[in-house]
């Protein structure tokens, strides 16, 4: 085959609401959440070329993520190759990272969804949209949202999605630069707190914010300074719909973003 390349734009998402319903037998939690993609993007440059054996090679501009088989992008490419019986192909993916990691913004999930979407385009749409969604659901909880984009009601682990009427909103973000919170940590703390004390949970739009805020001074600073701000996902990013965040030392701030009615997409080259 001739070498072929696509560039994929991969949007971040925020949780406008997030309620934890119960714990599942598989160890995950059932949630109900309204999620929304925003115009903060990672970019993937995906190239396929002939090779004596299948290879997946990752690199990128960030020193904070691994470029090996532990990266969700690698796992997505491997899953695509296995499901489509791809042989003798080298897949090279350059990850331009702009979305903070471990931030509740689905940076890893959107890149994985973008990988599946981009590879499907390069291989002439071997998979239907429904089949792509099935692979997304195998890899994680937010990939289906990032694949479809817009404003979505989500259930299950987050993989069951239903489109809602799109609203154009201004989005402002703030995150402690040195604090990342994994989904595992947030849900573990939710389970523990939910067993020992449920007071105050009803005051939070996001149940996971209620679960983790008392453990981190940096989160309490955001909430005290900006009382109407809401944590997205498992944190540590907060968003505001009505007021910009000021610049604070040791905090990453991104004001005046917009909601968008789409998910991952191919950029014309």
Catalytic residues: 13, 142
Supply the Cα-derived Rg of the chain in whole angstroms.
19
Strand pairing report for 55-60 and 89-96 = parallel
Distance CA 100, CA 61 (A): 13
> Residue 41 pairs with which residues in a beta bridge?
11
Distance CA 37, CA 161 (A): 13
Sign of torsion, CA 107 25 19 185?
negative
Residue 31 · residue 21 · CB < 8 Å: yes
Burial of 242 (0-12, 13-18, 19+ CB in 10 A): exposed
Question: From residue 97, how far is each of 76, 113, 205 by CA, in Å?
Answer: 17, 15, 28
> Residue 233 pairs with which residues in a beta bridge?
none
**3-class DSSP assignment, residue 116:** helix
The helices-and-strands tally (H runs, E runs) of the chain is: 7, 11
Distance CA 100, CA 237 (A): 9
- What is the CA 106 to chain-centroid distance, rounded? 1
């Amino acid at each position: 085959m001739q070498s072929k390349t696509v560039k994929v734009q991969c949007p971040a998402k925020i949780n406008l609401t997030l309620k934890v319903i119960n714990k599942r037998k598989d160890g995950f939690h059932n949630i109900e959440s309204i999620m929304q993609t925003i115009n903060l993007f990672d970019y993937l440059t995906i190239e396929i070329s002939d090779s004596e054996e299948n290879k997946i090679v990752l690199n990128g501009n960030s020193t904070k993520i691994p470029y090996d088989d532990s990266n969700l992008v690698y796992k997505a490419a491997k899953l695509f190759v296995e499901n489509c019986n791809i042989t003798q192909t080298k897949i090279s993916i350059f990850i331009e990272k702009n979305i903070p990691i471990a931030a509740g913004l689905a940076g890893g999930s959107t890149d994985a969804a973008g990988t599946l979407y981009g590879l499907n385009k390069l291989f002439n749409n071997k998979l239907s949209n429904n089949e792509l969604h099935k692979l997304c659901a195998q890899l994680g909880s937010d990939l289906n949202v990032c694949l479809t984009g817009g404003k979505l009601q989500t259930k299950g682990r987050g993989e069951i999605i239903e489109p809602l009427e799109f609203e154009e909103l201004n989005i402002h973000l703030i995150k402690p630069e040195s604090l990342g919170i994994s989904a595992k940590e947030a849900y573990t703390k939710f389970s523990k707190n939910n067993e020992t004390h449920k007071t105050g949970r009803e005051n939070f739009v996001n149940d996971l914010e209620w679960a983790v805020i008392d453990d981190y001074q940096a989160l309490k600073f955001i909430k005290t300074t900006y009382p109407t701000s809401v944590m997205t996902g498992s944190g540590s990013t907060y968003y505001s719909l009505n007021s910009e965040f000021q610049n604070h030392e040791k905090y990453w701030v991104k004001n005046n973003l917009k909601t968008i009615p789409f998910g991952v997409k191919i950029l014309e080259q």
